[in-house]
Amino acid sequence: MQLLVLAGEAKTAGELVGQLEALLGSYRFDFYELSLRAKPENGESEHVLAARMPENWRQVYVAKRYGLVDPVARMLLVAQRPFRMRDAASLMRNDPRRARLQRLTQDAMRHGILDGYVFPIHGRNGLMGHMSISGRPVDLSPVEISLFDTAAKRIMWRYLELQGAASEHEKHEPDSVPLTRRELEVISHLTQGLTSPEIARTLQISSHTVDWYINGLQDKMKAKNRQHVVALALRKGIVI
């Protein structure tokens, strides 16, 4: 609660980040990341505003292309509430690429990321960014998770205010396509190159149902085929 008050009084982004790091230190979290989802035309998936991560972890993550299978990144596409990293990983246990997921987990643990929490931050146009806190396992109570969730949103918006960028992210983009959680999951798997049977096994639904969702997406997005759905999803920033 004190952080929520201090965040509003912070005069610089550095001061705001310092307050966040003090809070995380009191809970014994080793790492954190505050990231803004980049616009697709920028050619990046996200823009890191502030972070303290393990040395060389980002280089390893990018070099091994873990972003294609990262359960946290995939969960962020559909999550409306905070979630624990280990819970996101358990949801992907039937993924056809579980061997690669296991390598990601092992590499993360070698870098000191054993568990953590992720707080999605939404704006008027959907997911706009997130805050993650990680390191050694820490059990937060439901009340503490709720407070961290509120703090994540407050810090993100205050950071943008201090950078003079808040109004830009408050604009509504009327051409956005409203999609359901299941449609977002199907698109996410499509962009990773999965076939209908592979998506069906991952989501534990039939291939016929997957094809039904894809046909619906083509209608909603005015796409010619599933490849066009993927191209439009990436162009519009529906998935990263």
Q: Is the pLDDT of residue 237 over 70?
A: no
- Summarize pLDDT for 138-167 with one digit per residue, the tens: 999 999 999 999 999 999 988 988 888 777
The DSSP code sequence of 56-76 is: THHHHHHHTTGGGT-HHHHHH
pLDDT confidence bin for 40, thresholds 50/70/90: very low
pLDDT confidence bin for 38, thresholds 50/70/90: low
- Summarize pLDDT for 203-234 with one digit per residue, the tens: 889 999 999 999 999 998 888 888 888 878 77
CA distance 169 to 124: 8
Tokens 């943008």, residue located: 160
For the chain, domains (ranges, CATH) are 2-170 (3.30.450.80), 181-236 (1.10.10.10)
CA distance 229 to 187: 8
Predicted local distance difference test score (pLDDT) of residue 58: 92
